[in-house]
Amino acid sequence: MIVVLKENPDPRQLENLMQWLKSLNLDVHVSSGSQQTVLGLVGDTTAVDIDLVRALDIVADVKRIQEPYKKANRRFHPLDSVIPVGCGIQVGGSHFQIIAGPCSIESSEQLCSIAQAVKASGATILRGGAFKPRTSPYSFQGMHEDGIKLLLEAKAATGMPVITEIMDISQLDLFDDIDIIQVGARNMQNFELLKCLGRTNKPILLKRGLANTYEELLMSAEYIMSRGNEQIILCERGIRTFETFTRNTLDISSVPVLKELSHLPVIVDPSHAAGIARLVPTLSMAAVAAGCNGLMIEVHNDPAHAKCDGPQSIRPEAFDALAKRVASLRALMTAQEA
């Protein structure tokens, strides 16, 4: 951490600052010029409250050099995290998983039919929304508890681990038999929810917020991890940009960068990023080529009558074709790495 002092700092205040920094077990190196004095802090600065330092009268600016996250940081955990998510499935490292299923759970027939189809095509984890975050209070909000029950039935029927989104701490009891709990983009900085999930022992799929940086995503992962639960799967699902042709803009660079900064697995959700079904296969291939640890894809047997996000859902036949193309590309990449 670098602390840039204002010109002619009060010597007593400077001395106080130096003492305080040393009390945090930091080494302080001073660079003094005619116009500017700069302090270089060396040591573990994770817990230094940067706002606190910036507020001091004698401080002009503070710049971090080390990342402010620790448990999510690859610097301190060089090896890839591999997270068992149930039914023998693992996420991370050299494993590649496809999560597929409908945006929202609508009926037993709908869910089972899709679940069997995607499983047959190669999907390994089943998704389905029971609690749906919708911009409008007048839109369908999901089947709630009944949706969870149908999802667990589909799990029993197919043997696939299941993932569904939580929207509030009060829903947690319903997630006892859910394998992976999803935190949606709009809740990425719902810090109370993150702390609560940090005290569970469930794998958490954490989606990046629509206007959040990599560092903010990793700090949200750190919230969960700091409470004890280190089973985090990161998910890129598109960010908001000025382009509105696609619903969001898939940030493909997030895949290699998050994998460089962190040991956590990175999954890509092209369905929400694009918001347009016909773009999903192309974006999926790009995400695989970028090295993601898996995909999360919305599949619906009747997109035109889906209760939610129909325009971005592909049909089972399209999913089947896509899964084959993904498998070939994965094989090519494995061969190239060898």
Q: Does 322 contact its own copies by CB under 8 A?
A: no
By CB under 8 A, name the one of 33, 79, 88, 338 that touches its own copies: 33
Residue 164: closest CA among 205, 110, 192: 205
DSSP letter for each residue of 108-168: HHHHHHHHHHHHHHT--EEE-BSS---SSTTS----THHHHHHHHHHHHHH---EEEEE-S
Q: Is 309 among the residues that bind its own copies (CB under 8 A)?
A: yes
Report the candidate in 238, 199, 234 with the shortest Cα–Cα distance to residue 220.
Answer: 234
Question: In the 8-state DSSP scheme, what is residue 305?
Answer: G
By CB under 8 A, the count of residues binding its own copies is 110
Q: Contact with its own copies (CB under 8 A): which of 8, 23, 25, 34?
A: 34
Q: Which of 89, 226, 301, 315 binds its own copies (CB under 8 A)?
A: 226
In angstroms, rounded to a whole number, what is the distance separating the alpha carbons of residues 278 and 275? 9
Give, as ranges, the residues between 264 and 283 that touch its own copies (CB under 8 A).
Answer: 273-274, 279, 282-283
Candidates 19, 94, 244, 334: give the one binding its own copies (CB under 8 A): 244
Residues 63-92, interacting with its own copies (CB under 8 A): 63, 65-66, 68-69
Considering only residues 39 through 58, tell me which ones interact with its own copies, judged by CB under 8 A. Answer: 40, 42-43, 46-47, 49, 51-52, 54-57
CA atoms within 13 A on the CB side of 294: 29
* Closer by beta carbon to its own copies, 265 or else 303: 303
Considering only CA atoms, which of 67, 74, 121 is closest in space to residue 234?
74
Residues 148-167 within binding reach of its own copies (CB under 8 A): 167
Shortest Cβ distance from residue 145 to its own copies (Å)?
Answer: 14
| Least distance in angstroms from the C-beta of 202 to its own copies | 18
